[in-house]
Structures are given as C-alpha cells and as structure tokens.
C-alpha cells in the first residue's frame, strides 16, 4: 500500500523525461505523417475536384460507363429477376440478350416451388491482364428455399462489358450444389 502512495505524486506531476517545448523556446519537431503532409503539394483551387476535397484524386479505370451497376450488383439483380420469374428480364443480363439453350446456371432456373432466394457475392476478380479488366469473375453463394427444403449452391459468374460500354453483361457461370 505504501508503494501506491509513493507513486501518486508522479501521476499528477507528469513525466520529467520529456522536454518542455515552451521552456526551450523551440517548437518540437512535427510527427512523421505531419512532415510528409506539410511537404506535399497543395491542390490548386481551380482543379476539377469535387467541392470539399483538398487533394487530387486519380480517376479509377473502368471498362464500363460511370454510374453503371457494379459487377456484384449486376449478378444480384439478374438472380432476383429469376426469383420473380421474369425470364425475359433475366435473359437480358446475358451476353447478346439471351442465354443458350442450356444456360450455365440452369440449376437455379430449374428450381421448382422457389419461395426465397439469398445470394452473397464476393469482390470481383480480374480474369484477364487488360487495364481496365474486361473479364471479371464474381464468386457467389446462393441459398434457395423451396417447398421441399433448402438448397445451397456455390460458384461464380463471369462478366464482360456490354458492347456499348453501358454496363456489365453475363458471359458465363458455374454453380455447383453444396452439402450443408
């Protein structure tokens, strides 16, 4: 208990090993991050940056038009069109506006008595070396609830830019049942 009493004055007095910047008359050196920020060029007020941003932002390379649905959203929107049994809208997401006679994801299209569908997408993966990438693969996990049970699928959808660059279209798919 005595040791605690002896240490209390040190808590209130502060540490004596740090120099007092006011007493020395010189300003302490800035931290490394501040020194780097101070040396960085300031953005010109006339540059084309959005209001409120103080740094120049490099444009992101994209194979599709700005404002187009991203790859994951495209896949989810397509699958929800299948859930709503709107085959015409779903087929429009495929390359050329239609699927083959046996679509790559026929396992989803053939589910009878579908009551609920959940899809989880992961970040798209570039499947080519072009910059920006023109062939993207979106990993997916699907849970389908039917009148007879719950089914799980895992796989991917490959997307490419539409010919006019307005968004992504499905180029191919691979879905496999998963046992849980």
The whole-angstrom separation of Cα 173 and Cα 148 is 25
Q: What residues have CB less than 8 Å from 132, skipping those under 6 apart?
A: 61, 62, 63
Q: CATH for 71-96+103-178?
A: 3.10.450.50
Residue 118: which of 85, 152, 149, 94 has the closest Cα?
152
**Per-residue confidence (pLDDT) for residue 5, from 0 to 100:** 53
The tens place of each residue's pLDDT in the chain, 180 residues long, gives 555 555 555 555 555 555 555 555 555 454 444 444 444 444 444 445 455 544 444 445 678 888 889 999 999 999 989 888 888 999 999 988 777 667 788 888 888 888 888 999 999 999 989 888 889 999 999 999 999 999 999 999 999 999 998 999 999 999 999 987
**88-99 burial code (b ≥16 CB/10 A, e <16):** eebbebbbeeeb
**Per-residue confidence (pLDDT) for residue 84, from 0 to 100:** 87
The whole-angstrom separation of Cα 71 and Cα 152 is 21
Domains in the chain: boundaries? 71-96+103-178
The whole-angstrom separation of Cα 11 and Cα 18 is 14
Token pair 């989803």: residue: 108
Q: Extract the runs of DSSP E, i.e. beta strands, from the chain.
A: 114-121, 125-126, 136-146, 150-161, 168-178
**Per-residue confidence (pLDDT) for residue 143, from 0 to 100:** 95
């Amino acid at each position: 208990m005595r040791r605690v009493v002896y240490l209390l004055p040190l808590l209130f007095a502060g540490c004596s090993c740090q120099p007092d910047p006011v007493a020395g008359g010189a300003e302490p050196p800035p931290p490394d991050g501040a020194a780097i920020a101070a040396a960085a060029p300031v953005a010109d007020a006339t540059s084309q940056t959005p209001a409120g941003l103080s740094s120049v932002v490099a444009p992101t390379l994209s194979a599709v038009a700005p404002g187009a649905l991203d790859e994951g959203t495209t896949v989810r929107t397509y699958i929800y069109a299948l859930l709503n049994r709107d085959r015409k809208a779903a087929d429009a997401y495929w390359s050329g506006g239609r699927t083959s006679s046996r679509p790559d994801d026929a396992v989803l299209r053939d589910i009878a008595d579908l009551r609920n569908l959940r899809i989880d997408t992961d970040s798209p993966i570039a499947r080519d070396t072009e910059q920006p990438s023109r062939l993207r693969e979106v990993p997916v996990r699907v849970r389908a609830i039917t009148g007879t049970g719950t089914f799980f699928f895992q796989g991917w959808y490959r997307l490419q830019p539409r010919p006019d660059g307005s968004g992504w279209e499905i180029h191919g798919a691979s879905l496999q049942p998963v046992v849980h």
